[in-house]
Amino acid sequence: MLLNKLTLENFRQYYGKHEIEFSTNAKKNVTIIHAENSVGKTTMLNSITWCLYGNTPDFSSSDLVSWNHDGDTCSVKLNFVYDDNEFSVSRVYDKKRRKTKELNLYKIEYGNSVLQEEPVSMINHLLPENLSKYFFFSGENFGGMLSSETKSGYKDSIHEILGFNLPKTALKDLKKLNEKNTKEKNKLLRLQKSTENFAFQLDEKQKSLKEVKLNIESIASDLKSYKSIQREYSQKIADSNHEKAGDLSKEKQVKEMYKREKIAIREGLHQNKHDFIFKYGAAIFSRRLTSRGLDFLNKNDDGDVDDDIVRVPAPYDKGFVNRLLNRGSCICKRPLIKGKIEYENVQYLLHTANTAIIDDRVYKAKMVKDNSDGLAEEFLSELARVEVELSTVDNQIGVYELAIKDIEKRIDALGNVDISSWQKVSITATSDIAEANRKLGSKEAYEVSLKREIASIEREIGRVKMDTPELDQSLKYQETIEKLISYIKRALEKEEKNTVNLIFNSVQKILDNSLRRPFDIGRDEDYNFYQIERTTGSIIKGTDAGKGQTLLLNLAFVTALIGHLKLRASSKSEIFQPGTIAPFIIDAPFAEMDSSYQKATLSFLPEQSSQLVLFLSSGQWKEEYKEIIGKYVGKRYYLVNHSESTDEKDIEILKDGNQEYRLTELNSEHIFTSIKEIK
Amino acid sequence: MATVYFDSDFSSRINKLTVEKSKLANKPIFPNNYSLMTFAAMVGSYYNSNCDGGKLEKKDKEIGSTLFVDHKLDGIAYLLAIDATQNGKILKSEQENEMWKYLEKYSNLGMREMESWFSMSQSIPLEDAILDRMREVALDIVDQEDKDYKDPVF
């Protein structure tokens, strides 16, 4: 979705009809709109959100119609391009009826406007309302971290624009179909004597599986809330006015972070040990077998051991014997005629003859020995290495645990009732997390084992001859649906993981290039993100790292998201819809930023955006910015304030090199705003 | 395709080894039933000179032979079968079911052996009990290799 043209008619200070065309050129994708404060930058941004979603974040509906206008209505029309087609969306407000008329969406085909059905759903598909403040971004109103302010449905909205909702919906539908089919199938199984018993077993296991899935969901949700409580209360102490407690809590957070890192290393080392069992175990215990088995395999026809010969005691190849019989003559040239003793003697060799399959299997058996040579020594050395590393990391974890306990004692010793009670909550949450993790692990294991049992019963059913074609069909139907579910699920998980990594790697890259101090971006599976001070590991809450930095991070996230959408727009995936190409419209992008961050922002914004519209006051525009962003600018405008004043002092000027543009027109009959293009 | 089974006596142990995540590694010891069966069969063959006592009482946890083939673990089954019969005919496709039974029987013996390890080392995690035995056997192998080593004659 790229914005083409915005038409405002008697909307707030835009008295009369005003149009602005945005640059849709791929190389010159930036449109800049200069204006002083209170002239109409934010109004223009709001007019777009009002047109698309019907809400106005900064003013009430009753103030929509221009105060100069004698009529009762105002309107906003937005032309945009999507998927190489032009659309026009419009909304009208009627002051007299105090009513916003329904949204109208037209597709423009050969100059004709064709009304589209379900406009709200289409607009929300292109740019979900939940994410509107991401794409229509107000630098002055950003408040804090974008993700923490977003209402529920945030993750779904991100999925929508990334094109993930189609496979998600397909999964839901397939699961419903599968449930329906399972019920039908079990009914049919009960009707047939040979499968009646299986049907009862299946019913029971499936019931347990449903219960365990609900349990898992509930524990996972508890776990999420325990984690959030723990984070919230330890942060509360860190943010408290009590300086000493704050410092101690921050110190504790750092120690906890190091402990977590060490625990992750320990987990990896234990996983290495598990892998050793699989990698070396069979080979080590095969030693006796390979030594006695291979002596036998290596014996030649005379019974002597010969390392160059690998065969079973059948010197004749089955194919070769068959060829002799077919051609009717032996290698000694004697004729082989059916019924004759020579023929029967050669034919008898087939009983002990070798075959290609035996050759292959003997080769594989021999490889078992070859592959096990030297592994015992390698295993011992690898195990020793891991055990030394484990012992070191265990010690380090122990040291951090002691330090954390010590800090907790010191916090308690401060004698502050609030802080002690917050700490208690945080410690309880920590033990609740451990308990929930334990429960989750055991329930998940039970789920896997139930699934395996169900699969095993279903395999048994598969072997029973079906009397009813309906049952046979139902089983095949189930197999197909389950294959599809598993395929889509795997694809979705893989794609989501990949997407989250790409987006946040891109944000991290922007931060690394832009920020003065090193910060890492932390994130969770719901696309929520936060800043972590790299040197101390402290999590930065809200705008604690500075408003300018937080604003830069927010812009970096939206830019990275848009950049990823741009990449996904050409996706030819069979499962995922292409991502949406989204515009990025920013009012006052540099609010709270110093000059260095402003320059950094201008460098990353245009390159990754598909379409960028910037509203800038003259104070936010510097001549030197032209060098950074100039080559991307496709269109440039300024908003003129038509004032009743006659005082020349009220004239405001936008300077651009040698050019000057008057931002104020005096002695106007009406107070309103107009749009002028800088050519 | 042939099918092999574990004895149902070990069902709960198999779940512990292949399904339950170990606390420290956050994953099960064996990724699946067929890798456990391969391991158990080798344990069985190490501690038993034949598989006569490996017959299953009650079958459980069916595994298709193609799983072993697809994951390149079938060589062990062939080796066990040749070793037990001393005859290559056991590898013929007509003998498929019988051939795979050797793996099943040795694995049953191996599971019994492993059960005895676990009962002797109840205070340590299962993976450590297995690794301790692997270490013992590996040390024996290395010792033996050292004894067998002869300096090259020039």
pLDDT digits (tens, 9 = 90+) for B54-111: 889 888 888 989 999 989 899 999 999 988 888 777 888 888 899 999 999 999 999 9
Q: How many domains does chain A have?
A: 3
According to the model, what pLDDT value does residue A219 have? 94
- Decide if A674 is inside a domain: no
According to the model, what pLDDT value does residue A308 have? 44
Could you tell me the pLDDT band of residue A296, with boundaries at 50, 70 and 90?
low
The nearest alpha carbon in chain A to B82 belongs to: A293
Rounded distance between C-alpha atoms, residue B112 and residue B132, angstroms: 17
According to the model, what pLDDT value does residue A361 have? 86
Q: For residue B135, give the nearest of A285, A292, A383 by CB distance.
A: A383
Same domain, A370 and A449: no
According to the model, what pLDDT value does residue A147 have? 58
Radius of gyration in angstroms for the set of CA atoms belonging to chain A, rounded to a whole number = 36
A312 near B CB under 8 A? yes
- Which helix (H) or strand (E) is A406 found in, with range? helix A375-413
Beta pairing partners, A93: A74, A100
Q: Tell if the CB–CB gap between B139 and A380 is shorter than 8 Å.
A: yes
The nearest alpha carbon in chain B to A353 belongs to: B89
Same domain, A78 and A219: no
Which residues of chain A does B137 touch, with a Cβ-Cβ cutoff of 8 Å? 284-285, 287, 376
Q: From the centroid of its chain, how far is CA A224? A: 18
Q: Tell if the CB–CB gap between B139 and A277 is shorter than 8 Å.
A: no
Could you tell me the pLDDT band of residue A539, with boundaries at 50, 70 and 90?
low
| 248-287 of A, contacting B, C-beta below 8 A | 266-267, 270-271, 273-274, 276-278, 280-287
CA distance B109 to chain A (A): 13
Same domain, A340 and A198: no
DSSP string, A191-258: HSHHHHHHHHHHHHHHHHHHHHHHHHHHHHHHHHHHHHHHHHHHHHHHHSS-HHHHHHHHHHHHHHHH
Comparing A142 with A473, the larger pLDDT belongs to A473
CA distance A373 to chain B (A): 10
Which residues of chain B does A289 touch, with a Cβ-Cβ cutoff of 8 Å? 42, 45-46, 79-80, 83
Which residues of chain B does A267 touch, with a Cβ-Cβ cutoff of 8 Å? 24-26
Which residues of chain B does A312 touch, with a Cβ-Cβ cutoff of 8 Å? 82, 87-89, 91
Q: Which of the residue ranges A306-320, A376-390, A643-657 would you say has the lowest mean pLDDT?
A: A306-320
CA distance B129 to chain A (A): 11
Cβ–Cβ < 8 Å for B52, A298: no
- Decide if B118 is inside a domain: yes
Q: Tell if the CB–CB gap between A313 and B142 is shorter than 8 Å.
A: no
Q: Is the pLDDT of residue A637 over 90?
A: yes
Same domain, A127 and A83: yes
Could you tell me the pLDDT band of residue A142, with boundaries at 50, 70 and 90?
low
Average pLDDT value for residue range A324-351: 83
Same domain, A149 and A100: yes
The nearest alpha carbon in chain B to A350 belongs to: B89
Same domain, A7 and A155: yes
- Decide if A249 is inside a domain: no
Cβ–Cβ < 8 Å for A236, A539: no
Same domain, A201 and A146: no
Give, in order, the Cα–Cα distances in Å from A334 to each of A352, A390, A504: 22, 73, 80
A517 near B CB under 8 A? no
Interface probe with B: pick from A287, A349, A361, most Cβ of B within 10 Å: A361
Q: Is the pLDDT of residue A144 over 80?
A: no
Average pLDDT value for residue range A134-143: 75
CA distance B154 to chain A (A): 22
Comparing A466 with A627, the larger pLDDT belongs to A627
According to the model, what pLDDT value does residue A313 have? 44
Among the candidates A356, A377, A398, a domain finishes at A377
Rounded distance between C-alpha atoms, residue A399 and residue A584, angstroms: 49
| 356-415 of A, contacting B, C-beta below 8 A | 357-358, 361-362, 364-369, 376-377, 379-380, 383
Compute the mean pLDDT over every residue in chain A, rounded to the nearest whole number: 84
The pLDDT tens digits for A245-270 are 888 888 888 888 889 889 999 999 99
- Decide if A676 is inside a domain: no
Rounded distance between C-alpha atoms, residue A64 and residue A43, angstroms: 10
Q: Tell if the CB–CB gap between A284 and B86 is shorter than 8 Å.
A: no
Beta pairing class for A611-616 and A633-642? unpaired
Could you tell me the pLDDT band of residue A329, with boundaries at 50, 70 and 90?
confident
Q: Is the pLDDT of residue A309 over 70?
A: no
Q: From the centroid of its chain, how far is CA A27? A: 28
Which residues of chain A does B76 touch, with a Cβ-Cβ cutoff of 8 Å? 282, 286, 365, 368
Q: From the centroid of its chain, how far is CA A367? A: 43
The pLDDT tens digits for A10-60 are 999 999 999 999 999 989 999 999 998 888 888 999 999 999 998 876 667
If phi > 0 it is left, if psi is from -120 to 50 it is alpha, else beta; for residue B2 that is beta
Q: For residue B92, give the nearest of A355, A365, A445 by CB distance.
A: A355
Which residues of chain B does A357 touch, with a Cβ-Cβ cutoff of 8 Å? 91-93
* CATH number of the CATH domain containing A233: 1.10.287
**ipTM of the complex as predicted:** 0.93
Q: Tell if the CB–CB gap between A292 and B137 is shorter than 8 Å.
A: no
Q: Tell if the CB–CB gap between B45 and A289 is shorter than 8 Å.
A: yes
Q: Tell if the CB–CB gap between A456 and B137 is shorter than 8 Å.
A: no
- Decide if B133 is inside a domain: yes
- Decide if B154 is inside a domain: no
Rounded distance between C-alpha atoms, residue A469 and residue A489, angstroms: 30
The most confident of the ranges A123-132, A351-360, B110-119 is B110-119
The most confident of the ranges A516-525, A554-563, B112-121 is B112-121
Q: Tell if the CB–CB gap between A293 and B82 is shorter than 8 Å.
A: yes
3-state SS class at A655: strand
The nearest alpha carbon in chain A to B62 belongs to: A456
Nearest to residue A662, comparing CAs of A676, A647, A651, A671? A651
Same domain, A19 and A137: yes
Rounded distance between C-alpha atoms, residue A215 and residue A209, angstroms: 10
Q: Is the pLDDT of residue A517 over 90?
A: no
Which residues of chain B does A283 touch, with a Cβ-Cβ cutoff of 8 Å? 42
If phi > 0 it is left, if psi is from -120 to 50 it is alpha, else beta; for residue B148 that is alpha
According to the model, what pLDDT value does residue A304 have? 57
Q: How many domains does chain B have?
A: 1
Q: Is the pLDDT of residue A310 over 50?
A: no
Task: For residue A542, count other CB atoms closer than 10 A to its CB.
Answer: 15
Which residues of chain B does A445 touch, with a Cβ-Cβ cutoff of 8 Å? 15, 19-21, 28
Q: Is the pLDDT of residue A351 over 70?
A: no
Which residues of chain B does A438 touch, with a Cβ-Cβ cutoff of 8 Å? 23
Which residues of chain A does B87 touch, with a Cβ-Cβ cutoff of 8 Å? 312-313
Cβ–Cβ < 8 Å for A154, A527: yes
Same domain, A20 and A82: yes
According to the model, what pLDDT value does residue A399 have? 94
Domain boundaries, position A373: 285-377
Cβ–Cβ < 8 Å for A43, A588: no
According to the model, what pLDDT value does residue B38 have? 95
Q: Is the pLDDT of residue A655 over 90?
A: no
Q: Over pLDDT 70: what percentage of chain A?
A: 91
Domain boundaries, position B76: 3-148
As given in the structure block, the two tokens for residue A655 are 């300077």
DSSP string, A351-366: GT-B-HHHHHHHHHHH
* CATH number of the CATH domain containing A590: 3.40.50.300
Average pLDDT value for residue range A443-454: 86
Could you tell me the pLDDT band of residue A626, with boundaries at 50, 70 and 90?
confident
Q: Tell if the CB–CB gap between A352 and B89 is shorter than 8 Å.
A: yes
The nearest alpha carbon in chain A to B34 belongs to: A278
Could you tell me the pLDDT band of residue A544, with boundaries at 50, 70 and 90?
low
Could you tell me the pLDDT band of residue A475, with boundaries at 50, 70 and 90?
confident
Q: Tell if the CB–CB gap between A293 and B61 is shorter than 8 Å.
A: no
Average pLDDT value for residue range A151-174: 82
Same domain, A48 and A197: no
Which residues of chain B does A367 touch, with a Cβ-Cβ cutoff of 8 Å? 75
According to the model, what pLDDT value does residue A483 have? 92
CA-based angle A159:A162:A163, to the nearest 5?
85
Same domain, A365 and A422: no
According to the model, what pLDDT value does residue A545 have? 63
DSSP 3-state helix, strand, coil percentages of chain A (rounded to 5)?
A: 60, 15, 25
- Decide if A499 is inside a domain: no
Same domain, A355 and A459: no
The pLDDT tens digits for B10-43 are 998 999 999 888 878 888 999 999 999 999 999 9
According to the model, what pLDDT value does residue A77 have? 95
